[in-house]
Amino acid sequence: MKGKDLTPIKPHVRKGDFVVILAGDDKGKRGKVLKVQPRLGTLVVEGVNIAKKTTKPSQKMPQGGTVEIELPLVLSKVILFCPNCKKPARTANEVTANGRVRICKRCKEVVDK
């Protein structure tokens, strides 16, 4: 990773959250976060940013062929989809008796399960 700044970025989404894509070819699509990579500032969303990869024959795939894989997106290109107000919304952190939780700035409800 020569030349890249690898200072971790604090992600505003977590694994399992539903997000809306804000920019790119998949703009407007929704999906579930499969993986978050804070050091790289990226995340992988289910069914979004699909690429085709050709593979050689192996034990797993004796025929080889073309496989569709999900490529990472930049964290700044997604926004959390609020399950309460059913709209994309920014979040705020709030400290409660149970610990720190995320609050939807639109409907003021707790986003965390």
pLDDT tens for each residue of the chain, 113 residues long: 566 667 777 888 999 999 999 999 999 999 999 999 998 999 999 999 999 999 999 998 899 899 999 999 999 999 999 999 999 999 999 998 888 999 999 999 998 86
Tokens of 7: 């200072």
CATH number of 1-81: 2.30.30.30
pLDDT of residue 43: 95
> Distance from first CA to last CA of the chain, Å, rounded?
36
Domain boundaries, the chain: 1-81, 84-113
